[in-house]
Amino acid sequence: MALIRRFLQVPEGSFFLLGPRGTGKTTWLRHVLPDALFVNLLRPEVHREMSARPERLRELVLGSPGRRDVVVDEVQRVPELLTVVHDLMEAGPARRFVLTGSSARKLRRGGIDLLAGRAVMRTLHPFMAGELPDFRLERSLEVGLVPLVVAGENPRDVLSAYASLYLDHEVQAEGLVRNVGHFARFLEAVSFSQASVLNISYVARDSQVSRRTVTGFLEVLEDLLLAFRVPVFTRRARRQTAVHPKFFLFDAGVYRSLRPRGPLDRPAEIEGAALEGLVAQHLRAWMAYAGGDFGLHYSRTRSGAEVDFVIYGPDGFWAIEVKNSGRVRPEHLRPLRAFREEYPECETFLLYRGSERLLTSGIRCIPVEEFLAQLVPTRGLTEGL
C-alpha cells in the first residue's frame, strides 16, 4: 500500500502521540521524521533492555548528538523512561522527543504529568475520508478506516483479529482486567450501545457482571483509546435534557466486527449505528487536527427529541443529524428545527445517504459521503459545501 498523507501536523516541540494500535503512528513518524533516533519498545529485546535499565535511553541519546529528534515508541510499556526524558529535557541541548502510546492509563500512572508544559498532546485517529484518494462510503462502513485494516490484503480477516489483538497484547498481557472472559463478553454487550445513550445497567446485565465491573471496563476501553463518550449539550437549555452520554467505539469497522449478528438483528439498525459512528470519528479527528477549541456534544430532551451531534466553539456552532436513508423525510428535520428554535445562532445540517444537495426549511441536506470527503482540518467544518 502506498504511503498516505495524514492531516496531522508535526508540532515544533516535544509531544506525546496517542492513538489505538493500528492507526499508523510509527509509519507516520518514520515518514515525517526520517532521521530520528527510534526506540521501539514493541521489540522484545528493546523492551527487556529498557525495562532493566531505563538509563540506557540516556546513553543512546547522548551517543547520537547529531540527531535532534528522538522517538520512543509505545512508551507506556516502560513508563520509567518518562523520568529519563524529563532529565534530558532539563539538562541537554534542545531536542524534540516524540513519545507514542496506545494506553493513556499506563502513561498517567507512569508520570505523564512530569512533562506537563514541555510536551503537548496529539492524537492520531483512523483515516479521514479526505486523506484517502479512493474513499468509498460503503467499504468504510464495512471494514472501517483503521490503517492497519485498510492496508491489509484481506481487511475483513485483519478486522476480525483486531479485538483479539487487544485482548492478548493489551488487556491480558498488561493485566488491565482480572477476568479476560468477562471482558470479552462485555465487548460484545457494549457494542449494542454504539451511537446510543449509554445505560450501564443494561450492559452489566447482558455482560453478566456487576455495574461496578462495567464501569471499570468502560474506563479500560477509553484508556486504550478504543471508545469515547459524547456528552449532552446543555448551554442555555430551556428544556430538560438527558443526563447520560452517548457511547461510540472509535472506528465503524471495529464496531461491526464486535457487534453480534443473527436472525433477530435488523441490518438497517446495525448500519445506521455504523454510519453515525463513522461521522462521529470524522468529527473528532477534524477537531483534533484543526486545533480549535471545539466540543463535541449531542442534544436530547427528556421527551426524546434528539440531534445526533452539536459542535460548539468560539469559531462555530453547528447541529448535525445523520440519517441512514436515501431520502429526506419531514420527520428527519423536526429535531433540527426544534433545536434551531432554541438556538437560532446554530447552523443546521442533515447528512443522508442520497445524492442530492437540498435546502429544506432552512436546513441544508447533504450527502454524507460528500460531507466526509470535504472535511479537511485546514478548512471550516462546512467550508466547501
Alpha carbon distance 327, 348 (integer Å): 17
SS3 content of the chain, % helix, strand, coil (to 5): 45, 20, 40
Alpha carbon distance 217, 188 (integer Å): 12
Task: Return the pLDDT at 142.
Answer: 95
Per-residue cell: 349: 445540517
CB atoms within 10 A of CB 273: 23
Alpha carbon distance 247, 233 (integer Å): 15
- Residue from 237, 225, 357, 358 nearest 297 by CA: 237
Alpha carbon distance 163, 258 (integer Å): 8
Decide: 99 and 16 in contact? Cβ < 8 Å.
yes
Task: Return the pLDDT at 116.
Answer: 62
Indicate the domain borders of the chain.
Answer: 15-123, 129-374
**Bridge pairing between strands 15-18 and 96-101:** parallel
Alpha carbon distance 208, 180 (integer Å): 13
Task: Return the pLDDT at 165.
Answer: 78
Could you say which DSSP state residue 76 is in? Answer: G
Task: Return the pLDDT at 118.
Answer: 79
What is the model's pTM?
Answer: 0.93
Q: Under CATH, which number does the domain 15-123 receive?
A: 3.40.50.300
| 3-class state of residue 14 by DSSP | coil
Which residues of the chain, if any, have pLDDT below 50? none
